[in-house]
Amino acid sequence: MTRSAGPRSNLRRGLRLAAIVVVGGFLLVQLVPYGRDHTNPPGTRTVHWDGARTARLAAAACGDCHSDRTRWPWYTNVAPASWLVQQDVKGGREALNFSEWDRGQPGIDEVVEAVSGGGMPPVQYRLIHSGSRLSAAERDALIAGLRRTYAADPPPPGGGG
């Protein structure tokens, strides 16, 4: 008498196949050559912050994407996280770059709106970078410091995006 595969056996086989497909897909996406260009180009002119507190807050909440001093943790070498980080850094540097203060940057009102509205730093960044989670007082201090910095060391107009 032959024994037929029962529902549990079929379920195990299906789960095993699904695991193989997921692991295989994960390994295959590692071959995509995007997201590992971890360059920090030399800045052309760094912003002159109004004070140490503003510099600290901006570095913690904005520096990885809005400067040429990006920290590249281990997970930035693993797809698909590497793809998302690369895209965020590229977009952030194009929109506002504290390391290229001699090129056009967005106006202070646009920057303040992004920070005060909660859009910056983005949720995906705040989730894994606890230092970027600003309290209301820190957010207000950053905004005030950004206003003073823009007033004392204004960038050329016309940048951002």
Q: Please tell me whether residues 138 and 59 are part of one structural domain.
A: yes
pLDDT in tens, 1-51: 555 567 788 888 889 889 888 888 777 777 776 777 788 999 999 999 999
Q: How far is CA 73 from CA 4, 68, 89, in A?
A: 50, 15, 13
Which of 79, 89, 81, 91 has its CA nearest to residue 33?
79
Rounded (5°) CA angle 22-24-27: 110
pLDDT in tens, 42-81: 999 999 999 999 999 999 999 999 999 999 999 888 888 8
Cα-flanking dihedrals φ and ψ of residue 91, to 5°?
Answer: -65, -40
Cβ-proximal residues to 138 (8 Å cutoff; 6+ apart), any chain: 57
> Which residues span the domain enclosing 23?
1-31
Q: Please tell me whether residues 21 and 98 are part of one structural domain.
A: no
Q: Please tell me whether residues 59 and 126 are part of one structural domain.
A: yes
